[in-house]
Each structure stands twice: as C-alpha cells, then as structure tokens.
C-alpha cells in the first residue's frame, strides 16, 4: 500500500469515527448533525479540525451555578409564584395580561424567570441617548456597578466609559467589568489597566491564549447587561463601540433597541451577572443584601420576566419563549432582527401564524455585516413570503435591534437574534414585557422604521439571479452551525 493510499485510509477512518461521535455520542439536533456531517464529507481533513475547534459541546454545566444564597432566594420565589399560579392565580395589575399566564408560567418553571410587576423602563433606539443615560446612572451609583458586554472597543465611547468607571472605583464603589474574549479580540491588553489601578475588577469570559483555537470558541457570552446598585439595569442590543453611535463609515446610522429598567426585574439581571462573573473570574461573589436591596421602594407598574438561555442549559428557553409568543398572536407580530435563521419550530410557528391570518412582519438589514449569515437568512424568506408574510429591508443604516411585539400586549427586547446560534450556542438574555404601553411604543417605532425600508415582495424574491439562489441554498445547509 502506497503512502497516499495509507493517508487516504487513515483520513477516511478518522472521518467515519468522528461521524459516529457526531451521530451517536453528541445527540445533537438533527439539523446540526447533518450540517456537521456535510462539513466532514466535503472537507475530510479541514472538517476534522473545524469540528475539533467549533463542534465541542460545552462541558462546564456543573461549574455554572449560582452561589447557595442566591439559589435559595430564587428557588423560594419560584416556589411562591408557582403556588400562586396553581391556586388562585396571579393578580395582574393589567387584567388583559391574564391571557398570557401560560407564557409566564412556562418561563418561570423552565428558565427560573421570576415575574415582577413593579418595574418602569425607558426604551432607547439611539446609542448616543443610551450611553448618556448610562453614564448618568454610573455617576449616581452608591454601592456597585456591574457590566457585561460582548463587544468593547478601544475608541471614544469605550475610553470614556472606562474613565467614568475608574472615577467611581476611586470613590469606593464596587466596579466589575466582564467581557467576552472573542467579541473583544481587538482590545489592547492594557485597555482596562486604569480601571484596575483605581480598584475596579475585570474578568474575561472563557479566556485563552489562542482564543480561535480554543475548544469552547463556539460558545460566546453575547449578553449586554449593566446593573447599578441592584435597582437599575440596562439590557438590549447595544455594545460598547463608536459604531453603536452611528460613527461607522460603512454602515452609518446604527438602529438598535436597548432598555433601562428600574424595579425588581433587576434582581434577576443581577443574579445572572454574578453567575457569569463567578464562572469567569477567580473571585466568588456572595449574595450580599446590597446586591439585592429588598427594601427598595419601586413605583413602576410594568410586568417583566428576564429570560436567559445558553449552551449550559438542556432547554432553549429564549427560543421557546419566541415560539410561545408567536402562537399567542391573534392580530399581528412585528419582528426586528439582524439575523434571521430560524429553526424548524420557529419557522413552523411563523407559518402557522401567517396561515391563520395574523399580520406577520419581519424587518432585517438591507446591508449585511456577515454575508454568509445574510445569505442563509434569505434562504428562509421565500416560503414565508409565499404564504403572505411581509418582509422589509432597512436601508437607513444597520438594523441591530432584537425585538418582537405581539398584538399591542406583550413584547421582548434583548440580546438574542432570531437565529440558531442565539437559540443554542450563545449565552443570551431577553426582557419579556407584559404591558400595553410598551408594546404599542415598540409597534410605533417599528412603523416609523418602515419609512426607511423597502419591501421585499415574493415576486422580487423569486426574480433573484440563479447564482444567488444556489449560493443561499448551499449556505442554508450549514445554517444550524453558523
């Protein structure tokens, strides 16, 4: 047997063995299994390396836990709310929300998403307004400032934010900053040094000296959270960078959605941050009362659940929440997302909604930032457009908002896109709001954005060049692992 034949045999046996691992041991979603098998089939050597780096399942589930006191407090609150649901039911401040008690109960029991009704919030669709509000909140902090961002840039807003945090750290305020290594791969090594010297603490999510060769590189912390004094929180799609202020020469205006929340919903955001922090850092932060000021007086009236999900969980909580919201719709569903790669359950739910006469409208960017993901997104639009869904391409700049609003009643804003990566691979967090005023405001924002969109009709979709259709069809086969 020649050397070439021996190498071919070895590679073939390796691919067969790896295929067996993918099929029988990983127990993945069927679509993801087929996608990985295609990679192994068409790239027999490179596919092995790609799978070794990107295909490994997250194995830190046992490490990823709350400290005991936080867990006990949350478990008691979940038990109390479950008892209320099972007996006399929840007393909703807005009686119209009683129709969504099954959605609330599902999020409570599966994602430990406690339901609170004493919240108030502000909605930001402009990065400049969001950061001005955030910096004012930072300046008013008395005890602690906790920040988690997927992307942090070494630019004007990035340096301004760190300077503000360093000033508060010198005043004795606890400052903790957690960031994702892949999202911040361009960040200089000494970027946070002035914050650390001022007394602040900084941690990196799943750090590695060779991040793109790390077996966990495929699992990223995509959350964006800020919690101030345990009573005020920021959550949404805006990271830290000048492009989020509309200063990127390629995209120009940046359309996003971010929330400022004041109320007991912030307690869950705090618990989530501390879980992520305790995983990423050497410090183990206990649940001091100052982090959860139970005696704080909140005068809001908005019902909110903080729903989180990630590869450390066996259930795709945010995906399930989206599906449940879609099934609850009777009048309309408005969705904004930069990436639209639905799994079968989301795609089927949307089809059923359209066929039931629900006005389903989807808004995506007119200009992509990641071409392969954009091509995959296009491959899913045809079957929905054919049924009657309306799709709009946002052309004013780049659309990065991750929102869904249903029937002028319920809505969701957060970090999770409508794609399989957000459902299964990234750590994400959304605020689900049960409030007419919030839903109607998000609806009016959506309708205002239509002024800057062009509609993608089914006729225009069908008339695309053949090469584009072929390219999108091929990329769709890999969409479960993009």
Instruction: Compute the half-sphere exposure of residue 191: CA atoms within 13 Å on the CB side of its CA.
Output: 22
Give the separation between CA 67 and CA 225, rounded to whole angstroms. 19
Separation in Å, CA 357 to CA 232, 321, 364, 389, 459: 40, 21, 22, 10, 20
**Tally of CA atoms within 13 A in the half-sphere of 101 that contains its CB:** 17
Residue 294: exposure state from Cβ atoms within 10 A (0-12, 13-18, ≥19): exposed
Positions annotated as catalytic residues are 222, 224, 229, 400, 402, 407
- What is the C-alpha to C-alpha distance for residues 291 and 228, in angstroms, rounded to an integer? 9
Tokens of 30: 């069927």
C-alpha distance from residue 297 to each of 76, 92, 268 (Å): 21, 19, 17
Distance CA 144, CA 167 (A): 13
Among 112, 139, 73, 77, smallest CA distance to 288 is for: 73
What's the CA gap between 446 and 83, in Å, rounded?
Answer: 38
Strand 397-399 to 253-255 pairing: parallel
Task: Tell me the three state secondary structure of residue 313.
Answer: coil
């Amino acid at each position: 047997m020649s050397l070439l034949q021996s190498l071919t045999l070895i590679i073939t046996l390796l691919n067969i063995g790896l295929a067996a691992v993918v099929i029988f041991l990983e127990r993945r979603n069927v679509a993801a299994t087929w996608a990985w098998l295609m990679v192994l089939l068409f790239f027999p050597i490179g596919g092995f390396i790609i799978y070794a780096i990107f295909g490994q399942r997250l194995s830190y589930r046992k490490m990823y836990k709350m400290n005991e006191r936080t867990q006990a407090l949350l478990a008691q609150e979940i038990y109390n709310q479950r008892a209320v649901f099972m007996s006399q039911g929840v007393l909703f401040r807005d009686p119209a929300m009683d129709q969504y008690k099954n959605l609330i109960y599902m999020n409570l029991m599966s994602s430990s998403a406690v339901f609170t009704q004493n919240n108030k919030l502000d909605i930001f669709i402009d990065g400049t307004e969001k950061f001005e509000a955030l910096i004012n909140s930072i300046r008013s902090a008395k005890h602690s400032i906790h920040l988690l961002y997927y992307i942090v840039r070494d630019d004007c807003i990035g340096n301004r934010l760190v300077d503000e945090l360093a000033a508060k750290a010198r005043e004795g305020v606890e400052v903790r900053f957690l960031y994702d290594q892949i999202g911040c791969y361009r960040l200089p090594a000494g970027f946070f040094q002035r914050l650390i010297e001022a007394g602040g603490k900084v941690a990196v999510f799943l750090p590695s000296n060779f991040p793109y060769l790390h077996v966990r590189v495929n699992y990223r912390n995509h959350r964006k959270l800020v919690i101030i004094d345990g009573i005020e929180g920021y959550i949404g799609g805006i990271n830290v960078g000048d492009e989020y202020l509309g200063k990127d020469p390629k995209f120009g205006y940046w359309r996003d959605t971010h929330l400022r929340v004041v109320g007991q919903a912030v307690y869950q955001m705090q618990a989530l941050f501390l879980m992520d922090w305790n995983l990423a850092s050497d410090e183990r932060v206990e649940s001091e009362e100052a982090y959860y000021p139970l005696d704080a007086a909140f005068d809001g009236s908005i019902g909110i659940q903080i729903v989180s999900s990630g590869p450390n969980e066996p259930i795709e909580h945010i995906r399930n929440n989206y599906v449940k919201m879609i099934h609850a719709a009777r009048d309309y569903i408005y969705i904004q997302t930069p990436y639209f790669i639905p799994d079968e359950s989301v795609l089927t739910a949307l089809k059923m909604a359209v066929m039931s006469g629900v006005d389903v409208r989807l808004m995506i960017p007119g200009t992509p930032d990641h071409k392969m993901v954009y091509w995959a997104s296009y491959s899913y639009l045809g079957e929905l457009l054919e049924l009657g869904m309306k799709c709009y391409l946002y052309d004013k700049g780049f659309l990065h908002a991750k929102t869904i609003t249903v029937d002028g009643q319920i809505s969701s804003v957060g970090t999770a896109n409508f794609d399989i990566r957000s459902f299964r691979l990234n750590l994400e967090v959304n605020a689900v709001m049960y409030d007419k005023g919030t839903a109607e405001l998000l609806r009016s924002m959506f309708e205002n954005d239509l002024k800057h969109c062009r509609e993608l009709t089914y006729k225009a979709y069908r008339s695309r060049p053949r090469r584009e259709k072929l390219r999108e069809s091929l990329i769709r086969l890999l969409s479960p692992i993009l």
